[in-house]
Amino acid sequence: MGPQINWKSLEEHAWAARERAYAPYSKFAVGAAVLADSGEIFTGCNVENVSFGLTICAERVAVSTAVQEGCRQFTGIAVVADTEVPVIPCGACRQFLAEFNPALAVSCVGRGGVHHTWSLSVLLPSPFDRIVNAS
């Protein structure tokens, strides 16, 4: 999957973004980097809030940044955290990512570069889609 994706570069961008995480409550810093069809890379970090529920994950920050820069087509996303077992996107982020590419390549990277890569269609096989679900 995604042989055209330079995962190493995407991961490096994600690690750099992770440095900017605002995570004073969980102390759990996450970085993400999404690759647009244009070749551009957009990054995000998690941004927490004292209300907890308003916290935004790194994946959604990365994609939102890309969209506001005019990119809506993505081929892959790298998500990094300093964990033994790589973290995978939460349910809300899976739906958010599926908006733009339900088969996005998702690479989750942990400490020491250990990684797992999936198609988003495996992580979220049945995303909500108002067209499909409309009566």
Among 30, 41, 104, 120, binds ligand THU (CB under 6 A): 30
Q: How far apart are CA 135 and CA 130, in angstroms?
A: 9
Q: Is the alpha carbon torsion for 23, 26, 27, 28 positive or negative?
A: negative
Residue 87 binding ligand THU, by CB under 6 A: yes
Q: Which is nearer to ligand THU, 41 or 58 (CB)?
A: 58
Residue 23 binding ligand THU, by CB under 6 A: yes
How far apart are CB 133 and ligand THU at their closest, in Å? 26
* Residue (of 57, 68, 11, 55) closest to 34 by Cα position: 11
Q: Considering 19, 48, 59, 99, which one is annotated as catalytic?
A: 59
Q: Is 5 exposed, middle or buried (0-12, 13-18, 19+ CB in 10 A)?
A: middle
Which residues form the interface with ligand THU (CB under 6 A)? 23, 26, 28, 30, 46, 48, 55, 57-59, 79, 87, 89-90, 93
- Catalytically active residues are 59
